[in-house]
Structure 1
Amino acid sequence: MKQRAGEETRDISPTITAQQKREESTRHRDAAQARKAERKAEKRRLMMLRRRRRLRVDDVTVVEESALKKALAGSVVGNLMEWYDVGVYGYLAVIIGQQFLPDADGHIQNMFSLGVFAVTFIARPLGGVILGQLGDRLGRKEVLAYTLMLMAIATFLIGILPTYAAIGVAAPILLIALKLIQGFSTGGEYAGATTFITEYAPDKKRGFYAALLDWGSYMGFAAGAALVSVLQLTVTEEFMNSWGWRIPFMIALPLGAIALFFRTKIEDTPAFQESQDIVDESGNQKKAPAVREIEDAIVATDEGPSGVLALLRNYWRELLTAFFLVAAANTVGYALTSYMPTYLSTTLHYDPIHGNLLTLPILVLVAFAIPLCGWISDHTSRRAVLVTAAFSAVILAVPAFMFMAHGAIWSTLLGLFLLAVPVAMYMGNLAATLPAQFPTASRYGCMGIAYNAAVAIFGGTAGLIMEALVTFTGNDLAPAFWVIATSLIGFVATFFLRESARQPLPGSMPSVASVEEAVELVETQEENPELDVEELFAEVPVRLLDQQPSVEEAKVELAVAIEAEDEARADLRRAQAMTQAAWAAVEEARLAAEVEDSESGDEDEAAPSPETEATPEV
């Protein structure tokens, strides 16, 4: 009995399992169909919300002047610190090569020093990816504070690093390690600073305010170069080669502490806070909920930051455009800054002090020309200024290097000035242009990828490539042709740019400087050529759409619903006509079949059977 009971149990068990599987399969199928129907309904609902939504006064961000000033100060000092190190290292490149590779030939020492500078940029894409992802998740402010602290500490450690004479081959290895740390930190600095300022600045003045970042960059470079030049003029060459070169690096630590103090006084941008937080019914802040998964036709429904692969997949066109623009701008930019002291002293045979002093006034001139170019782009267009920058680099590169090769001080200054023209126009626009190519939730991450990849491949290696071209070709004009080649690529990239002058950032509401400007913007939104309301609400987070409609929005919603109903009725009429035609075709086919059967039946009756023909009459 037990065996039989067991057998019966074994016989019944598969039947129950199969039935359960069928029921579970049915439930899964029903649930999938329900989710599909829900997604379609959500798609229709969001499409209607996006079409009927109109700009309201409380949608517009009014920038507080005090907050903007704090944001500018906190961002500019970070860029100043980053480029202070670039300036110091660029102007001390010859001495560093002698201290960390003393037994090599002079050209090899220069190549080593410039190569170590280029190594810095290898870590920048990694820093840009990691810190960019953190910036989109944790906030711009926290990540920018971290990058500033890491950069200042690494720069200070270079100042106290033992040379080759003290610890041998470990010295250049440690130097490379510290430059890699610098590169990792700076990978998140510029991308974060530009994201921070563009999200804070009013739309109509974004070009000017964002350009102040690069004003800080070039003033930082000039400050580092000036400090090195002062030391070279005031101390002996022996002291400069022993301990004097360390002083500019060691000063970075107190400067970093001051900059960090400014940076801790700022708050995260309104655009980032709006993308991360919402207010619940009780008035408390909470994290924005995940939005329902719907079909790809709905834009910007994911309010959270995306991973690296998702950024590459969704924004590859914008990333490539930004990459090539940054490559063009930084090739000519680093040619003027980090490479020019080496070029003037080794190729044109200026003594290091005069070579450094010649570039200082040009750097200061570029620094103050950069905000002017940003202001011009606010009143014209970003694309127009960047096209001019690329065109001028192609036209002026060869004359610039020819004037410098002439050898006179006046001609060298003129050549440097010609090279500075495209630099000012490039740098005066990139900080405002590039962040405006990406939505708020992914802006820091995309900037970290595009900017740092381009700087690593083209910017950091600019001096090394140009010195190698001069060394292997023997042609002093070889750097000019490298500048031309990269700017031709940049010229093509400008035609794929999204124009952003005086327009809201993607995924963000308009930003203005006063309440009166916000009221005027709302009142003139329909006829404002610089404000596409439909495009604006096609990219904002869903929670901004799902609100009680105003009278105007309700009328638009009614018009959209009537239009959808008319389309549905037209579709129904077409479907009914097709159904009637199909029924007519069926009836016609049936009648034809009956006629054919009738005719074949008559023929069968008229024809004699074989038996009849074979049987004789009796």
Structure 2
Amino acid sequence: MTATVGASASAVQEHKSHLRTLVGTGIGNAVEWYDWAIYATFAPFIASALFSKSDPTSAILSTLAIFAVGFVARPFGGFVFGWIGDRIGRKTSMTFAVALGAFGSLLIGIAPTFESVGVFASIMLLLARLIQGLAHGGELPSSQTYLSEMAPKEKRGFWATLIYTSGTVGILFGTLLGAVLSGVLSKADMAAWGWRIPFLIGGALGVYALVMRARMKETEAFEAETVKEKHEPMWPQIFRHRKQALQVIGLTVGLTVIYYVWGVVAPSYASTTLKMDRGAALWASVVGNIVFIAALPFWGRLSDRIGRKPVLIASAAGSALMHFPMTWLLKDSPWQLAVGMSVMLFFIAGAAAIVPAVYAELFPTKIRTVGVGVPYSICVAAFGGTAPYLQTWLASIGQGGLFNVYAIVLLAVGIAFVFTIPETKGKDLTH
């Protein structure tokens, strides 16, 4: 009986520890994705408030360019926070990252308008995005590494789905908030002050995530390392694992572009370029993201049964095959946007569900955070960060089809790289 009670108490403690891990990781990751989603969603209002109104097209392109510039800081964030994660601890890296991200969101929420301070408003926006880029460049690899090391190895694919699940919840919350504000506030109020509300909320959520992460414990894999292993020179290790770094880039290029197209900027693209009603476009996006969240655990569990590589291939191939049909379907109706996003996000979910685990499984413990963070951030900056701008610009000159070809080529690159990686299902990350 004593043994049974002890085992029961141990199980309760383990359950609480797992819950703390999932909530602490998820809330911080959700805030990061929320920040990036609301920027894309409210880009037209940001352009109107923080840039000159004399040329609306130039203003929106400048706003999207700063969206891309924010990605430039991500590789630096990947290295800085990756170094912290591999030297000081995963928990410390995650905590610092979410604090810095919240500060950047707050800066955008209180930024003065172009009419009141001129170009300084645009500069403040740029500074805030660089701060967020630095923080978010460290957030994702730190949280991916932490979650992968805390997960039971036979369920790591399923646990890894938390990254995109929580991230999509953040996007969904931002999208719903945008739809509600667009319905409740007049266009004049939205342009004047309504667009600031989501950024101020983002700052407050970041503070809450900071408190949650401060209560988390460090991973056993990191604590099992010796002091000597934690202080090995970083750059030689990065060079030694250059093949794995290249594999991270190759696996990410297609996913990051196709995801930003269909999962993040599709509602804004539909309303600005296709002239769809903004509120209706946002509600259509909600439908697509709910489908995405529902698909993630399916793919995650499947990868734990049949392996990572078949799921990655199915995801990229399905996304490539359906991209043109769903693009042709999308015209000016919200139902078309809802169907297009749902179909594409179902297939995108395959790779999105498990890449956090795949990345972590490619590297040893002593280089895992920075090994994932630097190449991943470079890839997302170079390809994901430029995707909205490139899509909008090509559409503005009547060459939107070129962007679709570009996206499919990158997905094909991803499939090719799948064949270069080992099958890592069930790998022990403590070695």
Query: Which band: TM-score by shorter chain?
Result: over 0.9
| More displaced stretch, 374-383 vs 421-430 | 421-430
Given candidates 16, 26, 41, the residue that maps to 1:66 is: 16
**Is the CA contact (8 Å cut-off) linking 1:149 and 1:260 kept in structure 2?**
yes
* Alignment partner, residue 309 of structure 1: 235
Given candidates 135, 145, 150, the residue that maps to 1:185 is: 135
- CA deviation string 1:555-575 (max 9, x = no partner): xxxxxxxxxxxxxxxxxxxxx
* Alignment partner, residue 464 of structure 1: 389
CA distance, structure 2, for counterparts of residue 305 and residue 442 of structure 1: 10
Q: Which structure 1 residue ranges, 5 or more long, are not aligned?
A: 1-61, 277-287, 291-302, 509-539, 541-618
User: Helix, strand or coil: the match of 1:434?
Assistant: helix
User: CA offset at residue 313 of structure 1?
Assistant: 1.7
CA distance, structure 1, for counterparts of residue 315 and residue 361 of structure 2: 19
CA distance, structure 2, for counterparts of residue 98 and residue 311 of structure 1: 46
* Alignment partner, residue 253 of structure 1: 203
Given candidates 344, 368, 381, the residue that maps to 2:270 is: 344
* Alignment partner, residue 336 of structure 2: 411
CA distance, structure 1, for counterparts of residue 233 and residue 288 of structure 2: 41
**Is the CA contact (8 Å cut-off) linking 1:79 and 1:213 kept in structure 2?**
yes
Question: Normalising by structure 2, what TM-score?
Answer: 0.94
| More displaced stretch, 306-315 vs 115-124 | 306-315
User: CA offset at residue 404 of structure 1?
Assistant: 0.6
User: CA offset at residue 324 of structure 1?
Assistant: 1.5
Partner amino acid for 2:130? L
CA distance, structure 2, for counterparts of residue 412 and residue 82 of structure 1: 25
User: Helix, strand or coil: the match of 1:275?
Assistant: coil
Report which of the two has the higher share of helix: 2
Point out the structure with max Rg over C-alpha. Answer: 1
Given candidates 317, 323, 336, the residue that maps to 1:397 is: 323
* Alignment partner, residue 427 of structure 2: 503
- CA deviation string 1:136-174 (max 9, x = no partner): 010011111111111111101110110101100111011
1:81 aligns with 2:7: no
User: CA offset at residue 104 of structure 1?
Assistant: 4.3
**Is the CA contact (8 Å cut-off) linking 1:120 and 1:176 kept in structure 2?**
yes
| More displaced stretch, 340-349 vs 410-419 | 410-419
1:388 aligns with 2:338: no
**Is the CA contact (8 Å cut-off) linking 2:50 and 2:121 kept in structure 1?**
yes
**Is the CA contact (8 Å cut-off) linking 1:404 and 1:413 kept in structure 2?**
no
1:202-213 map, 5 Å: 202-213=152-163
User: CA offset at residue 354 of structure 1?
Assistant: 1.7
Identify if the C-alpha distance between structure 1 residues 240 and 497 changes in structure 2 by more than 3 Å, giving closer, same or farther: same
1:277-426 map, 5 Å: 288=227, 290=228, 303-405=229-331, 407-426=332-351
CA distance, structure 2, for counterparts of residue 172 and residue 77 of structure 1: 30
User: Helix, strand or coil: the match of 2:230?
Assistant: coil
* Alignment partner, residue 6 of structure 1: none
* Alignment partner, residue 418 of structure 2: 494
Question: Normalising by structure 1, what TM-score?
Answer: 0.66
Q: Which structure 2 residue ranges, 5 or more long, are not aligned?
A: 1-10
User: CA offset at residue 105 of structure 1?
Assistant: 3.0
* Alignment partner, residue 263 of structure 1: 213
CA distance, structure 2, for counterparts of residue 456 and residue 104 of structure 1: 30
Partner amino acid for 1:274? A
**Is the CA contact (8 Å cut-off) linking 1:208 and 1:374 kept in structure 2?**
yes
CA distance, structure 1, for counterparts of residue 125 and residue 233 of structure 2: 33
- CA deviation string 1:223-245 (max 9, x = no partner): 01111110110011111110111
User: CA offset at residue 440 of structure 1?
Assistant: 0.4
| More displaced stretch, 306-315 vs 427-436 | 306-315
CA distance, structure 2, for counterparts of residue 409 and residue 83 of structure 1: 23
CA distance, structure 2, for counterparts of residue 209 and residue 268 of structure 1: 17
CA distance, structure 2, for counterparts of residue 363 and residue 338 of structure 1: 10
**Is the CA contact (8 Å cut-off) linking 2:238 and 2:367 kept in structure 1?**
no
* Alignment partner, residue 479 of structure 1: 403
**Is the CA contact (8 Å cut-off) linking 2:276 and 2:333 kept in structure 1?**
no
Identify if the C-alpha distance between structure 1 residues 259 and 466 changes in structure 2 by more than 3 Å, giving closer, same or farther: same
Across the two proteins, how many residue pairs are aligned to each other? 420
CA distance, structure 1, for counterparts of residue 206 and residue 311 of structure 2: 34
* Alignment partner, residue 141 of structure 1: 91
- CA deviation string 1:168-227 (max 9, x = no partner): 011101100110000001111000000001000011100111111210001101101111
Partner amino acid for 2:124? L
1:152-163 map, 5 Å: 152-163=102-113
User: CA offset at residue 308 of structure 1?
Assistant: 4.3
* Alignment partner, residue 3 of structure 2: none
1:427 aligns with 2:352: yes
**Is the CA contact (8 Å cut-off) linking 1:125 and 1:187 kept in structure 2?**
yes
